[in-house]
Amino acid sequence: MESSEQNPSRENYTTVVEFILISFSDVPELQGFLFGVFLTIYATILMGNSLILIITKTDASLQTPMYFFLGNFSFLEICFVSVTAPRLLADLCRQNRNISFVACAIQMYFFLILGATECFSLTVMAYDRYVAICNPLLYHLIMNNRFCIQLAMVCWVSAIPLYTGFTYHVFSLSFCGPNEMNHFFCDIPPVVKLACGDIFMTEMFVYAIAVFVAATPFILILGSYVNIISTILKLPSATGRAKAFSTCSSHLTVVILFFGSGIIVYFKPISSPSTGMEKILSLIYTIVIPMFNPMIYCLKNKDVMVALRRFLLKFKSIAFYSKA
């Protein structure tokens, strides 16, 4: 049996059993302020997306494929943000920011799966708009209930086998110190950056997965919108063009913000020095964009606004009669 002197790297590896999330501890004077800001954002995300989920499921005027996918996306947003936000809020209130290998692996696993599901869901939503605008006569035949449910299920399960193997690979690497992670959650770049030895193959895996999960859907979405915009410009009615643009612009806004920030993070070389910008970009696509999504979809969609007012009036009347 080898002694620890003969194999120091193995001994060092066994001593690293957890990571330390630096989070925003480098600005201690802002801890209370940041806690208040992120708590407000998280509450807004939960309430806004819950409202959209409720009205798309209960309002008779919103029982169409577009709103089925919007409700599915709102539920997904709640799950996606809940992987990182509660831990971030807890770390802003305590000194001990240690996270075990197992907890870190679980957080990364669900974050990656839900992030990939968002990418696929946004692609499916773009396809729905493409069929509705470019093939309106066949829309209800193509986007029937069964097909919509199948598309949603594919989005949710497609990334599971991919990221099961990838997460296992990442946490099979040797970690021999340091174990401080300049981030607020266990994401791929900050975790892999702490690994010992050659991480070239792991970086190649990251780029290949990023192409499949992010770049390819983004290109497909842009291709769909090229056809959509071309079709909209050919519409004879100015009112029809305005309505079509209004329906699509909200989704396209979310796509550009979400994919833009995510692609920058995952296509940046992992071995490059950390500047702190990764945390800012990660905040954008993990917390800030999900906060704006309900606003973008509601303010730019008259049907959703009407359904929301109807729901709030109904809720107000129920609350009034219950008090009486």
Classify the phi-psi angles of 301: left when phi > 0, otherwise alpha if psi is within -120 to 50, otherwise beta. beta
Provide the pLDDT for residue 256: 86
Predicted local confidence at residue 304, as pLDDT = 83
Contacts of 126 (CB under 8 A, 6+ apart): 220, 221, 224, 225, 251, 255
Q: Peptide bond preceding 294: is omega within 30 degrees of 0, i.e. cis? A: no
| Number of neighbours of residue 131 by Cβ within 10 angstroms | 19
Tokens of residue 72, six digits? 């599915």
Alpha carbon distances (Å) from 170 to 15, 157, 190, 232: 18, 21, 11, 46
Q: What is the pTM of this model?
A: 0.88
DSSP classification of residue 182: S
**What is the pLDDT, as a whole number, of residue 8?**
42
Return d(Cα 34, Cα 45) in angstroms, integer.
16
pLDDT for the residue numbered 159: 94
Alpha helices in the chain, H assignment, sequence order: 8-15, 31-58, 65-91, 101-134, 139-142, 145-157, 159-170, 188-193, 200-210, 216-233, 238-267, 277-283, 289-299, 302-323
Structure confidence at residue 168 (pLDDT) = 95
- Residues of the chain scoring pLDDT < 50: 1-14
Residue 198 confidence (pLDDT) = 84
Instruction: Write out the two tokens for 248.
Output: 């699509």
Say what the pLDDT of residue 71 is.
93
Give how far Cα 40 sits from Cα of 46, 84, 195, Å. 10, 15, 35
In this prediction, residue 165 carries a pLDDT of 95
Query: Using an 8 Å Cβ cutoff, are 297 and 250 in contact?
Result: yes
Q: Name residue 98's beta-bridge partners.
A: 20
- Distance between CA 146 and CA 158 in Å, rounded? 18
pLDDT computed for residue 204 by the predictor: 92
Q: Are strands 18-21 and 98-100 parallel, antiparallel or unpaired?
A: antiparallel
**Confidence at residue 162, expressed as pLDDT on a 0 to 100 scale:** 94
Rounded Cα–Cα distance for residues 114 and 112 (Å): 6
pLDDT at 267 (0 to 100) = 86
CA 62 to CA 53: how far, in whole Å?
A: 11
Q: Which of 191, 212, 197, 234 is nearest to 116 (CA)?
A: 212
Position 322 scores a pLDDT of 63
- Domains annotated on the chain, with CATH: 15-312 (1.20.1070.10)
